[in-house]
């Protein structure tokens, strides 16, 4: 027991000694940022961003579980990707698939991704983010006229039409601005 106490005292001394500035600026900032990771990790892979983002919003990988990404990023599936041929060369597909699988909802420490992982743990893998139970629940109170009837939104699959910080992985309610409905919240 005394050894554990000594280890704790040593750790406290190191954190409060001459390296305190480092600890303040580095460790504590990191810890605070880490504990606030309540959204999803933004897209960090340039190839993923360029290839997927050339046709639609490059969805953060943490919005779907790995089993969904595995289905979506299959060679055959990409030949008919929601009505479009999104085929990729072997190396590009490999990089995008690895990135999506490594950053899928169940592998993330971000709070919203963890909720998505729980919502998709059982049952069939959703192919659309809008099919995820958690996402459906978050959007259930938005009238259809604000989405499908809105020429600037069209469908929930255009996340970045309303989520003003979607490219940063932030989907909080206070960053939502529905086009043509400025007073709705």
Give the structural domain span for 74: 46-122+129-175
pTM of the model: 0.78
- The whole-number pLDDT of residue 18 equals 47
Residue 28 lies in a domain: no
Residue 11 lies in a domain: no
> Residue 108's closest CA among 171, 167, 26, 169?
169
pLDDT tens per residue, range 44-81: 999 999 999 999 999 999 999 999 999 999 999 999 99
Give one DSSP letter per residue of 4-58, joined into a string.
HHHHHHHHHHHHHSTTHHHIIIIIIHHHHHHHT--S-PPP--HHHHHHHHTTS--
Residue 20 lies in a domain: no
Confidence label for 21 from pLDDT (cuts 50, 70 and 90): very low
Residue 31 lies in a domain: no
Q: How far apart are CA 108 and CA 41, in angstroms?
A: 8
Residue 24 lies in a domain: no
Count: domains in the chain: 1
100 and 61 Cβ atoms separated by less than 8 Å: yes
Phi, psi values for residue 158, rounded to 5°: -95, 65
Residue 61 lies in a domain: yes
> Residue 146's closest CA among 160, 161, 131?
161
56 and 157 Cβ atoms separated by less than 8 Å: yes
């Amino acid at each position: 027991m005394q050894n554990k106490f000594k280890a704790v005292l040593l750790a406290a001394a190191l954190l409060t000694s001459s390296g305190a500035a480092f600890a303040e600026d580095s460790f504590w900032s990191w810890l605070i940022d880490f504990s606030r990771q309540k959204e999803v990790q933004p897209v960090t892979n340039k190839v993923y961003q360029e290839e997927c983002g050339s046709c639609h919003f490059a969805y953060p990988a943490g919005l779907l579980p790995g089993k969904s990404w595995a289905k979506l990023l299959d060679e055959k599936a990409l030949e008919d990707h929601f009505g479009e041929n999104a085929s990729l060369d072997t190396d590009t597909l490999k990089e995008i698939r690895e990135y999506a699988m490594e950053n899928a909802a169940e592998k993330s420490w971000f709070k919203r991704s963890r909720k998505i992982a729980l919502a998709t743990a059982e049952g069939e893998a959703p192919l659309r983010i809008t099919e995820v139970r958690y996402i459906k629940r978050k959007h259930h109170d938005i009238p259809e006229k604000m989405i499908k009837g809105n020429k600037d939104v069209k469908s929930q699959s255009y996340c970045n039409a309303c989520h003003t910080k979607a490219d940063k992985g932030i989907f909080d309610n206070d960053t939502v601005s529905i086009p043509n409905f400025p007073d709705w919240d």
